[in-house]
Structure 1
Amino acid sequence: MVDVNDHGVAVGGTTMRTPAPGSEGSTAVAWRDGQLHDLAPGGFDAVAWDINERGAVVGVTHRGDNTAWVWRDGVVTDLPAPPGLSSTSADQVNDRGDVRGGLDIQAIASGTQIGAVWFGGTDLRHLGASPGWLADLNEKGVAVGIVWQGGTVPGDGGPWLHDAVTMDRHRVTRLRTTSGGPSTASAVNDLGIVVGDEVRQGRRQAVAWVLGIPVPLAGPAGSPVVESRATGIDERGRVVGWVRLPGDEATNEGRAVVWDLVPTRQQLQRWLR
């Protein structure tokens, strides 16, 4: 199981005892009230990745290409793809029914994606011609992720140069950084605060974007930080991630941290100057 909602319904995948011919033997399932329910989108190599509070489930079926789908009230519906892009993925669904996923761009390279959101499960918007992916989606329909600089995906060895972006139904916006270097947006809460990191002098620096303004996140008790990254944020503004302090460089290990972003009015005024 990979996700569970507040009603205790869990979703994921399981192995079938008698798979269909040509199938690898997996199917998407939901666990509800002590019972396992086969969601069976096409009955062929499927997994469910997310469930919202209304019971809508999203996942992927492999039928040669990957096909993203949404399950609602016992009915499975494939998510639409534009002409020429037959392979799709679905990773997250919010309570409005917006689905975060991606479109596979075989013309560029196998496995290369354009991040996408199906608003309401039908209205497709994506990152455009720039390869990239979306990492999170909030309840307001705002997604965050990255696009590759120059519109190209690096080969093995990099350089891995990409920009943090937000995307809603109307536009894709690149987030500015304090250094002008590459950046990553990892998560967004319903207030629109985005967290991730930017690259400064070859090292990651954890950042929160508040009203689009980048705010570097400090080390524990103001201690110097060699490298850091923010990976998640809750609705109260608490951010999780990791930091690497000067003494950690020998082992290359990081330390789990929580930042509290609840600002005072004076802090907000100072950031917005």
Structure 2
Amino acid sequence: MKSLAAVALTVMLHCHAGAEPLRIERSVATDANTAGDVVGETRYSDGTRRAVLSRDGVVSELGTLGGGESYATAINEQGTIIGASLTAANEWHAFVYRVGHGMRDLGTLGGRGSHAVALGRKGHVAGYADTADGSYQAFVWHDGRMTGLGTLGGKNSYATAVNALGHVAGAAHNAEGYRRAFLYRPETGIVQLPTLGGRASVATAVNDHGVVVGAAETADRRWHAFLYDGTRMVDLGAKISRGDTFATGISRDGKIVGTIRVNEYKSYSFVHDKGATRILPNLRADGIVAKITDDGQFVGASSLGRKFQASAIRSGEPSAAMTEREKFDLFMYTLLALSFTAWALWHVGPDVRTWWRHRQQTRRPAVAGQPGL
């Protein structure tokens, strides 16, 4: 694993002409590519935040779309970066940034704002944007065009993932007002996925073969991780004896990772591969796993008291002692995974935050970063 330079995000200062340098209050890395490029945001003492890129140990701000703030959410292997920025009109707009070409405003779907959430290997951008009627809708942007994906008969929709073919996964309201997982393909449009007997579901990841994973409510109001391969809905949670389960990532070759929530304070991580489900050995104690890379790296964290300690293993390999360099790398990857889940929960919309508070009150919390379950 290549060393990540995200630590450099903590040493950059932002200066205003004729003013003292602002202190950095917090820096968050949100994504990285295999070249070691890291993107995220730096928040300053005056409350503003700026999207930043760390490359070869050099940290640079990406600028804005004319306003005072910006943040970055993802970077792909080609070095394309996405995020959102305030415009001169004080509206948040999704952007695409390329080194040497600057920041491009992706626009909206007729409303005031938009946010870019996911980035595919071939440059497809997925997210959500405001519409003229005051709702928000999932979109996919490619080759200079933003396409609204619509809903499933209800008010809102949002995207959570996009693959190299431009297939988009997410959740949308149906006519009854429940959120349901969807898969969008250019040739078919937005299609509602089956359920596991309950009212609601959300898709959280899709690989390049079009296999979708996420979580769905069952008839007895539990949450089970699912896999949908285009023809059948597989209840992955049924293979686990207790707790609510949430699939959060899938690799190109079909390995799935996710989280088991036993109660408000206990969580475990699992991997499903070739029909077998197992708990990850060194993420088992209050563990969180957010994703799996295409080379088989499970990335997450396990709690130690009130702190999170980075943990990761490769598919099929036992846990092993890590060097200090490896621990640092894994820690930075953990920051990417955990910070994105927190970002997603906060940005998908106020109604999602209302749902989250309700889930907390009923002591059946969902996994952070899985909005709209």
TM range (shorter): 0.7 to 0.9
Does the CA-based 8 Å contact 1:5-1:52 persist in structure 2?
A: yes
CA contact (8 A) 1:237 1:262 kept: no
1:106, CA displacement in angstroms?
7.2
Contact preservation (8 Å) 2:93, 2:108 = no
Identify the residue that residue 159 of structure 2 maps to in structure 1: 134
Secondary structure of residue in 2 paired with 1:2: strand
Map of 1:78-93 to 2, 5 A cutoff?
Answer: 78-82=105-109, 84-93=110-119
Q: TM-score, normalised by structure 2?
A: 0.58
Q: What letter matches 2:112 in structure 1?
A: S
* Pairing 1:234-273 to 2, within 5 Å after superposition: 234-244=251-261, 248=262, 253-261=266-274
Kindly indicate whether the alpha-carbon contact (under 8 Å) linking 1:65 and 1:87 is maintained by their aligned counterparts in 2: yes
The Cα shift of 1:191 comes to 1.4
Return the structure number with greater helix share: 2
Q: TM-score, normalised by structure 1?
A: 0.78
Q: Which residue of 1 aligns with 2:146?
A: 124
Q: CA deviation at 1:131?
A: 0.6
Is the contact between residue 119 and residue 169 of structure 1 (CA under 8 Å) also seen in structure 2?
no
Q: Displacement of 1:252 after TM fit?
A: 6.0
Query: How many aligned residue pairs are there?
Result: 239
Residue 260 (structure 1) shift: 0.9
Deviations 1:156-180 (A, max 9, x none): xxxxx21110012241011112426
Contact 2:37 2:55 in 1 (8 A): yes
CA displacement at 1:193 relative to structure 2: 1.0
1:209 aligns with 2:228: yes
Q: Secondary structure at the match of 2:112?
A: coil
Q: Is the 8 A contact 2:224 2:244 kept in 1?
A: yes
- Tell me whether 1:146 sits opposite 2:146 in the alignment: no
Gaps of 5+ in 1: 153-160, 264-273
Identify the residue that residue 100 of structure 2 maps to in structure 1. 74
Cα shift at 1:15: 4.2
CA distance in 2, matches of 1:25, 1:254: 34
Say whether residues 1:51 and 2:75 are aligned partners. Answer: yes
SS of the residue corresponding to residue 163 of structure 1 reads strand
Q: Between the two proteins, what is the percent identity of the paired residues? A: 28
Describe the SS at the equivalent of 2:85: strand
Does the 8 Å CA contact 2:117/2:159 hold for their aligned counterparts? no
Q: What RMSD in Å do the two structures reach over aligned CA positions?
A: 2.5
Structure 2 segments unaligned to the other structure (5+ residues) = 1-28, 277-373
Q: Kindly indicate whether the alpha-carbon contact (under 8 Å) linking 2:162 and 2:169 is maintained by their aligned counterparts in 1.
A: yes
Task: Give the aligned residue type for 2:63.
Answer: A
Cα distance in 2 between the residues matched to 1:204 and 1:16:
39
Instruction: Report the alpha carbon displacement of residue 89 of structure 1 after superposing the two structures with TM.
Output: 0.7
Task: Work out whether 1:40 is the aligned partner of 2:67.
Answer: no
CA contact (8 A) 2:157 2:171 kept: yes
Q: How does 1:91-240 map to 2 (within 5 A)?
A: 91-105=117-131, 107-108=133-134, 113-120=136-143, 122-128=144-150, 130-150=155-175, 152=177, 161-170=178-187, 171-179=189-197, 181-200=199-218, 201-218=220-237, 222=239, 224-240=241-257
Q: Matched residues in 1 for 2:97 and 2:176: separation?
A: 33
Q: 1:261 to 1:137 in 2, by over 3 A?
A: farther
Q: 1:226 and 1:94, CA in 2 relative to 1: closer, same or farther beyond 3 A?
A: closer
- Contact 1:239/1:261 (CA < 8 Å) preserved in 2? no
The equivalent of 2:357 in structure 1 is none
| Match in the other structure for 1:155 | none
Q: 2:36 aligns with which of 8, 12, 15?
A: 8
Give the Cα separation in 1 of the matches to 2:117 and 2:235. 29
1:195-232 CA-partner distances (Å, limit 9, x unpaired): 1122112111211001241011156xx55334322111
Q: Which has the higher contact order (CA 8 A, sep 6+)?
A: 2
CA distance in 2, matches of 1:101, 1:151: 23
With over 3 angstroms needed to count, the CA separation of the structure-2 counterparts of 1:39 and 1:131, relative to structure 1, is same
Counterparts in 2 of 1:31 and 1:8: CA distance versus 1, 3 Å: same
